[in-house]
Structure 1
Amino acid sequence: MSQTPSSLRELENHDAFIARHIGPNDAEIARMLRTVGHDSLESLTEAIVPAKIKSAAPLTLPQAMTEVDALAKIRAVADRNQVFRSFIGQGYYGTHTPNVILRNVLENPAWYTAYTPYQAEISQGRMEALINFQTMCAELTGMEIANASLLDEATAAAEAMTLAKRSAKSKSDTFFVSKHVHPQTLEVLHTRAEPLGIKLHVGDDAEAAGMDSFGVLLQYPDTVGRIHDYRALADAAHARGALVAVATDLLALTLIAAPGEWGADIVVGNTQRFGVPFGFGGPHAAFMACRDAYKRSMPGRLIGVSIDAEGNKAYRLTLQTREQHIRREKATSNICTAQVLLAVMASMYAVYHGPEGLVRIARRTHRLAAILAAALGKAGVAVGKDYFDTLHVTGIDAAAIHAKAEAARINLRRIDARSVGISLDETATRADVAALAALFGASIEDIDALDAATADALPATLLRKSAFLTHPIFNTHHSEHELLRYLRSLADKDLAMDRTMIPLGSCTMKLNATAEMIPVTWPEFANIHPLAPAAQTQGYKELIDGLEAMLVEITGYDAVSLQPNAGAQGEYAGLLAIRAYHRSRGEGHRDICLIPESAHGTNPASAQMCGMKVVVTRCDANGNVDLEDIRMQAEKHSANLAAIMLTYPSTHGVFEEDVVAICDIVHQHGGQVYTDGANMNALVGVAKPGKWGSDVSHLNLHKTFCIPHGGGGPGVGPCAVKSHLAPFLPKAFAEDGVRTAGTGQGAMVSAASFGSASILPISWMYITLMGQQGLRKATQVALLNANYIARRLAPHYPTLYTGRNGLVAHECILDLRPLKDATGISAEDVAKRLIDFGFHAPTLSFPVAGTLMVEPTESESQHELDRFIDAMIQIRDEIRAVEDGRLDRDDNPLRNAPHTAFAVSASEWAHAYPRELAAFPLPSLKLQKYWSPVARVDNVWGDKNIMCACIPMDAYKEEAEA
């Protein structure tokens, strides 16, 4: 036993959070260090990290805190926010998160700690929820297919623009945008269009009919609430070879005609008002729906239905050739994530309420808006017509109205000096309507009488007549008990961090501590509109300023923007800053981006989206970037060199020795150095990219800084830069909805000024809880855990690449290619067999085909590491049995994995190996066993037979009869 601390300082240090986050205790660390041949974490760090990049001084951050103290500190920060009643609208609306969804999805680690569903067999629950989401979006919009969510409405609109460019018959370079779209959407469209050579024409809707363009974007209802009849415009656009994209509101579509019914080709929007709080702008799940003809060009993820090895229906990510990791510089988008957790919440909101419940919510919202409009009209106040929930009030002294509203703790939309906007929502009450009317000098004496005397304001020619959400899944779970059980049944099908280590190389699946998660749902963070006046958001300002300062200290850069709400978007923001910097110096011709062949696939995709030309550089036999090839390419393209994009430590999991020399070479030829922050978990407290010559990095807060992956989103990808690039960071949005000088003067990349602001408390809490020493120790233990796995598995699987002293960084690549050559057993077979052991597979065939990349992170204990190692050793023994003929080459536990409970318990067993080996390859599994809900999923069948909506009930009937 370790000695009990005696002094007050020792006792206080013992209560710090560090030991809760870091998996191995000191005794385990000592044992693991002996295994890898070192006597201390400092010795191991010295052996792994090149001296040229090591930080000489410790991080200038406070000491670690206890959970109690950190929660008290952030409570004081939250209390500086003021939660007013917000009727601002502009794409964001008040909503009630059903408590059963709040507790059992948003606050449930079974949902928020899951990973992207690349391994289909252990992701059936979350993929069913996403199929529900896709079905919901497709049916409400009247389209044939929808994806599994996008980042926000503005970026979804930008993706619609580029989809239209790829797909339209028109060869024009002009994209028409209605001046009635949300202002933040217009800003992001400007950002995305210019580097691609797309000309935006913003104008009155009537102009679109006669304009030569490849696409048209309309807002329905528009930004100030008006519902327009766009049928003739859509016909005219189609006649000219253009596609029609529509940004819409799903709740409104329960009452008004679906865009697909009047000519839309692509429909985008935000599902935020389906049970997801404001959160000061995010995260929220956007969506894209389109005609079936465009499904192979649709960006983002798409869940489809296939069959498994037993012939049963099974879900999977479909059309995976669209994944940008694969298409690289030929990618049509750099999207590498989604907003899965939020999409699940929105889909469950629809499941819980059902079509009739959604109509009731929409009807009530509209009636409140109509009653308010009637009261204002009686008082002589001018209000727009043909609306759903938003009133455009004109001819008033807006400043005076806003002053009255502020005194009543009410926020209205700021439009101009003579008008305001008022958006009602499901949270609005009769008392709210009376209070809103009073701001304009109107009174409501009998709201029921006014209701009875007031007609609807929905245009009669655009009333919805088509059915939607008819599938039983949306008509079954309306009691809390039923939804609770449905959510549990889905979660039970999946593997997430609450059950097992997810040893994904490059993806850093670490502990998302409960204390870090708790503040997210506090009303002071959750219920703030992104355009709330600055005086009401002082807590957010303190939080954001503090987190930016922490990240500046950790990275060695000079400024940070938290606006990018995904890692790939952070890449994009960084490259835009580089592009703008060159232009500011009269060197806009610099457009060559060097990218090593080992880089993450989003890197070349982001570069081409910025209008850069990608030049791929080689790696040597050891997996390191080829310094001489970089030197040669930099010299060759010296006049036009814009940047190099590096990943450090490398994608191959090692600290390369030449990173400083690479920075020097690129700078000598006028370029800038972008360092991908995906592997920052190996650097925090040990080395700072901003100090060794790098100019810009994106950071993954959903990796290194503990925001959970949420089944494939949310993510946050801040952009960190040196001072000369700081002026070109993304700009913030003012509270009146127009551009203003924010963090930088560059282009907006997300709809909200601070991206997914409501989950920033997670990273703030992590850094605060760990403090200076804890962050460094976390990095060191991450290095230790990876090397421990590599060393213990060395007799069974070779590690493909190592760095100095034969050590790896925070991840290792296990080479299974020789085993495939000898036995026919592939890396995919090993990945599927790990499911039988209750493990999510490591990263499969990236960055090298036929390999597994393992990243254990510092939050995994020695017990869990050993459990994984034991599984991998047992699998190697099974492969050896194939090698020497004890197991059949084709009929063996690996080729048939995963084994379902149904298969193992069936009356017939046709395999040559015993059932016990299939189900319980290790004795420990008899005490705790995860059963895959489906057998191996057939990817080829799924791509040939694409179905991306809820499985028809008669299909289940057919299976039962078969």
Structure 2
Amino acid sequence: MSNVFYQEKFEDRHNGPRSTEAQEMLSFLGVQSLDELIEQTVPSQIRLKKSMSLPKALSEKAYLAKVKQIADKNKVFKSYIGQGYYDVTVPGVIQRNVLENPGWYTQYTPYQAEIAQGRLQALLNFQTAVSDLTGLEIVNASLLDEATAAAEAMFMLYNARKNKDANTFLVTPNIFPQTLDVLQTRAVPFGVEIRVADIDAANLTDDVFASFIQYPAADGTVSDYKAFTTAAEAKGITTCVAADLLSLALLTPPGEWGADVVVGNSQRFGVPMGFGGPHAAFFATKDAYKRNIPGRIIGVTSDASGNYALRMALQTREQHIRRDKASSNICTAQALLAIMASFYAVYHGPQGVKDIAMRINDLAKLLDKGLQALGYEQTNTSYFDTLRIKVGEYIGGVKSEALNHELNFFYHEDVVGISIDETTSFEDIQTIVKVFAKVKGKNVSDVDLEGLVDSLGDSIPAELVRQSSYLTHPIFNSYHSESEMLRYIKSLESKDLSLCHSMIPLGSCTMKLNATTEMVPLTWAHFGGLHPFAPVDQTSGYMQLINELNDWLSEITGFAKMSFQPNSGAQGEYAGLMVIRAYHESRGDNHRDICLIPASAHGTNPASASMAGLKVVVVKCDEFGNIDVADLKAKAAEHAANLNSLMVTYPSTHGVFEESIIEICEAIHANGGQVYMDGANMNAQVGLTSPGFIGADVCHLNLHKTFCIPHGGGGPGMGPIGVAAHLVPFLPNHEVVSVSGDQGISAVSAAPFGSASILTISYAYIAMMGADGLTNATKTAILNANYIKARLEHHYPVLYAGANGRCAHEMILDCRGFKNVGIEVADIAKRLMDYGFHAPTVSFPVAGTLMVEPTESESKAELDRFCEAMIGIRQEIAAVEAGEADQKENVLKHAPHTADVVTADDWNRPYGRQTAAYPLPHLKVNKFWPSVGRVNDSQGDRTLICSCPSIEEYAEA
């Protein structure tokens, strides 16, 4: 038969097992076909009756051709809009070796520190750079965007306020509009009043708990706030400042003039605008707030041999631990982008960063003088990069002529705002002057720009010129040639285990293939170079992609419409609950504030509910890990008058398709509530069932899980929400770009479409998989999980299973029984590193367990390799149980084993070096060495060091 119509399927590249391997696995499970396994796993009452209606799957080549056509519809004009987003030059060594490198973008959040020292160091560098530039001691390892970071600061300062009767947040009128929008959203659930008024001591009334300053201001003005912060401190009122990180190379840092918190965006440090993201926000504060600061903190400690080591510090603050008492619901950060920004600071160093800032400032001053020479009034007497030009009757002409030259400015009434950036050249200034000259009937040659260069003067008042040093650590002063920078990046990369090395079997985190073809368009200028507030006629390519993705995800989820604004899973949870809140209020049900949450739920669920102003009522789970339906019905009835919602994960957090899910949804609806479905486990639903079909009203999707956006060491993420028709009017709107109707809640993120540039990845995945491919991926994920379960259940108890003994796409291995001989689940996690694997999810949702999720992308060979590692560890535990190995001096307790330890001259352990390093034969051919031994967590928490210490400082600490 002719092969003339053969076309390679992307599905066959995405899914791991070959057809013969899949059949072997099915035979091992005792079933004839994949469909028979699905029938035993997914309850019949929730299975879809027909296939999803999606476009035919494209080949990789055809997809790239299509997405190129879409990209070309975007018009990449020179952007001088500013307002928190600026064009940048991404150093090629960073773009190629970090952003485009799966060794960096496929890493997981660094919870297992011993195999994450590279990204931990890069994130510590980020913290150090931010600490130096802002002048504050404690910095986290990034947040989602500037606006949400400002909201996190407001929430932290509100909780820490000395006057508990004060509920007013004083906000400068000169604030980025998107930041004010998000602040107003976050303020609502807590009854915080956002008072927009001048930053003046006279406005520090007794009801104010904190103030917010934009520095430089939204219009570009640079002002001295020292007297204001002094007056505020005297009244016990704290100060939050949103600062332009690059400007702080020239301006006095807020930490030096009295700020308690400094937030902002590191986008200017070499991260493209990307139509709004992803970008790493920063959050810096005083040492007094180190246990209140949201997000992750990287800290310095030591390993078992006393060597320098890094870890995520103070994790007891996190929502996974504190749940509804957490300081924030944030889970995904923007680690990959923070890493890029940190490498930008390392590559350029203090002088390079200052040179870039000075060049921007000089070009702004040159433009100022050039426009004044044409007779225009520039109203900012002091500024860093942004001018305000009063043009009066010429406003229409300026707009028209700017567009003719493919320039975007910021317009407000009869004022034109122009923000200069790193990519601006002398020739660009000439073009801008030419535009303004033509509007007045003049010629650019009327202005001698070259002659003006030598008389630029100062635009920053002497009292605001930075005097203190920054980026003084050797790391920022050592790698300025590309050869040195490349080697430094690679040296850190080599310390980290990623999907390049082996499967990362993290339950609930879905570490699947991030295919190269999915990633390619991400770095194209036609996606990366657009400002999120660009005129709509310049963004038609993005709008086509977003609209098509909306249709596809709506079909996949069974919902009416999506909102792409939430830029993390936790942000999606919060947005969904705020939409439900708005729906209830529209019906006069303002009193509905009870949220039912199963005991097994993700920690972000109760934390998000708390942030949305809801009271959490916990629903019991039965002995099989399922929601206790009787308890749920009783609590729904008890709270019927005030029931707001149920937050439920499906399949359950225990890895089971609960038979009673439809009954559960109906019980909530019968008592006036709405059903919020956590989409963390959507990878087991796509094509087989859907949240809308089951009966949910809203669901967020972790696009960085099910839909292939890579985890990037802890972010980027996207958490769009899908809603049923009755909730569509309440989807998030945006102050600058309208994306919803009149009833839409105010913004939940800074950009109208969240981290829009990475939507290209999920778009690619769906386009190349098609309906059948997506469904087969789900089936394969379930096959892979049940294969591992069947191979391991004779060695480890598997906690929960469905009615037919099957798990969904993940399972829980019970390791609690090993405590009898002193073996903890953490010992197994560390020993897995010696076998070349990242541990499954540790102690969630049940303490002392491992939650395993293989995903559909892993081959049978890789699944077997993981199973052999787990069986090998079980045999090592058996040796302890039998008394053949000591309970304290054994290979698990000393794991992981570094090359330094194994090759040391002294070896006095009761097991051999070969056992330590090569527990299975294949490791002699392909061995990943942890770079440090077991990390000392308690030491790191006792002495928190969250910026790069000198050797002397570390030794002293």
- TM-score between both structures, scaled by the size of structure 2: 0.98
Counterpart contact for 2:739–2:752, Cα < 8 Å: no
Percentage of matched positions with identical amino acids? 56
Give the conservation status (yes or no) of the 8 Å contact 2:675–2:698: yes
Say which of 835, 846, 849 aligns to 1:848: 846
Instruction: State the secondary structure of the residue aligned to 1:414.
Output: strand
- Alignment-mate amino acid for residue 938 of structure 2: V
1:356-383 residue CA offsets vs partner (Å, 9 max, x unmatched): 0001000100000000001111222111
Q: Is the 8 A contact 1:175 1:201 kept in 2?
A: yes
Counterparts of 1:59 and 1:210, CA distance in 2:
58
1:108 aligns with 2:101: yes
Distance 2:62 2:739 in 1: 36
Partner Cα distance (1:804, 1:374) in 2: 77
1:405 maps to amino acid: A
Structure 1 match to 2:299: 304
Aligned to 2:79: 86
Whole-Å Cα distance in 2 between the matches of residues 754 and 859 of structure 1? 29
1:414 Cα offset (Å): 2.0
Do residues 387 (structure 1) and 415 (structure 2) align?
no
Q: For residues 941-960 of structure 1, what are the structure 2 equivalents within 5 Å? A: 941-954=939-952
For the pair 1:477 / 2:473, whether they are aligned, the reply is no
- Give the 5 Å matches for 1:326-475: 326-383=321-378, 384-396=380-392, 397-416=394-413, 418-441=414-437, 443=444, 445-475=447-477
Do the aligned residues in 2 keep the contact of 1:170 with 1:240 (CA within 8 Å)? no
Distance in 2 between the 1:743 and 1:430 partners? 44
Aligned mate of 1:628, from 624, 627, 630: 630
Structure 2 matches for 1:916-935, cutoff 5 A?
916-935=914-933
Shift of the alpha carbon at 1:210?
3.2
Aligned AA for 1:330? K
In structure 1, the partner of 2:177 is 183
Residue 958 of structure 1: CA displacement? 8.6
Does the 8 Å CA contact 2:178/2:734 hold for their aligned counterparts?
no
Give the residue type in structure 1 aligned to 2:895.
A
2:597 alignment partner in structure 1: 595
Query: Using the alignment, how far apart are the partners of 1:432 and 1:480 within structure 2?
Result: 28
Per-residue CA deviation, residues 324-369 of structure 1 (Å, 9 max, x unaligned), is 1111111121101210000000000000000000010001000000
| Secondary structure of the structure 1 residue equivalent to 2:310 | strand
User: Which shows bigger deviation, 725-734 or 920-929?
Assistant: 725-734
Q: Kindly provide the amino acid, as one letter, of the partner of residue 57 in structure 2.
A: A
Q: Cα–Cα, structure 1 residues 816 and 741, in superposed 2: closer, same or farther, change >3 Å? A: closer
Assess if the C-alpha contact under 8 Å between 1:505 and 1:853 holds in 2. yes
Shift of the alpha carbon at 1:207? 5.9
Describe the superposition over 1:234-267 as per-residue Cα deviations: whole angstroms up to 9, x where unpaired: 0111111111100001111101100011110100
* 1:623/1:223 CA distance change after superposition, 3 Å: same
Q: Take 1:168 and 1:194, find their aligned partners in 2: how far apart are those partners?
A: 18
Structure 1 residue 86 displacement after superposition: 0.3
Task: After TM superposition, give the deviation of residue 440 of structure 1 in Å.
Answer: 1.8
Choose which of 248, 273, 293 in structure 1 pairs with 2:268: 273
CA gap of 1:955–1:925, structure 2 versus 1, over 3 A, is farther
Cross-structure match for 2:285: 290
Aligned pair partner of 2:23 in 30, 43, 53: 30
The Cα offsets for residues 206-241 of structure 1, whole Å up to 9 and x where unpaired, read as 266532311000001000100011011101111111
1:246 correspondence with 2:241 = yes
Counterpart selection for 1:149 from 129, 142, 145? 142
Cα–Cα, structure 1 residues 725 and 128, in superposed 2: closer, same or farther, change >3 Å? same
1:159 aligns with 2:158: no
Match of 1:696 in 2: 698
Structure-1 separation of matches of 2:259 and 2:854: 47
Deviation of the 1:400 alpha carbon: 2.2
**1:167 and 1:958 mapped to 2: Cα distance?**
32
Q: Quote the Cα distance in structure 1 between the aligned partners of 2:326 and 2:296.
A: 14
Q: Report the Cα distance in structure 1 between the residues aligned to 2:858 and 2:512, rounded to whole angstroms.
A: 8
**Matches of residues 826-905 of structure 1 in structure 2 within 5 Å?**
826-905=824-903
Preserved CA contact (<8 Å) 1:819 1:826: yes
Contact 2:789 2:798 in 1 (8 A): yes
Aligned position for 2:788: 789
Q: Determine the structure 2 residue equivalent to 1:319.
A: 314
Partner residue of 1:638? 640
- Pairwise CA distance, 1:911: 0.5
Corresponding letter in the other structure for 1:425: D
Equivalent residue for 1:44? 37
Distance 1:870 1:765, change over 3 A: same
Pairing of 1:797-836 with structure 2 (within 5 A): 797-821=796-820, 823-836=821-834
Amino acid at match of 1:850: G
- Which secondary structure does the structure 1 equivalent of 2:409 belong to? strand
> 2:822 is aligned with what amino acid?
G
* Residue aligning to 1:712: 714
CA distance in 2, matches of 1:403, 1:820: 74
Structure 1: which 5+ runs fail to align? Answer: none
TM normalised by structure 1 equals 0.97
Instruction: Compute the displacement of 1:658 (Å).
Output: 0.4
CA contact (8 A) 2:41 2:807 kept: yes
- Cα distance in 2 for partners of 1:419, 1:936 equals 59
Question: Distance in 2 between the 1:470 and 1:354 partners?
Answer: 9
CA RMSD of aligned residues (A): 1.3
Deviations 1:802-848 (A, max 9, x none): 01210000001000111222x21111100000000110000000000
In the TM superposition, residue 313 of structure 1 has moved relative to its aligned partner by 1.4
Q: Distance in 1 between matches of 2:98 and 2:152?
A: 28
SS of residue paired to 2:271: coil
Partner of 2:48: 55
Q: Measure the CA separation in 1 of the matches of 2:2 and 2:296.
A: 55
1-structure distance, mates of 2:25, 2:760? 33
What secondary structure, in the 3-state scheme, does the structure 2 residue paired with 1:288 have?
A: strand
- The answer to whether the 8 A contact 2:503-2:858 is kept is yes
Contact 2:90–2:270 (CA<8 Å) still a contact in 1?
A: yes
- What's the secondary structure of 1:806's corresponding residue? coil
- Which amino acid counterpart does residue 461 of structure 2 have in structure 1? P
C-alpha displacement at 1:744, in angstroms? 7.0
1:435 alignment partner AA: T
1: CA distance, partners of 2:426 / 2:123:
35
Which deviates the most, 22-31 or 37-46? 37-46
CA distance in 2: counterparts of 1:955 and 1:217, whole angstroms = 34
1:6 offset after TM fit, Å? 4.0
Give the SS at the match of 2:291: helix
Deviates more, 1:85-94 or 1:165-174: 165-174
Q: Does 1:671 align with 2:673?
A: yes
Cα distance per residue 1:697-744 (max 9 Å; x no partner): 000000000000000000000010000001111113435xxx674697
Match of 1:289, SS state, is strand
Task: Report deviation, 1:745.
Answer: 1.8
Letter paired with 2:794? P
Q: Is the 8 A contact 1:734 1:740 kept in 2?
A: no
Partners in 1 of 2:415 and 2:329 — Cα distance? 39
Q: Structure 1, residues 370-398: CA drift from partner, whole Å, max 9, x if none?
A: 00001111222111210000001124332
Aligned match for 1:566, one of 556, 561, 568 = 568
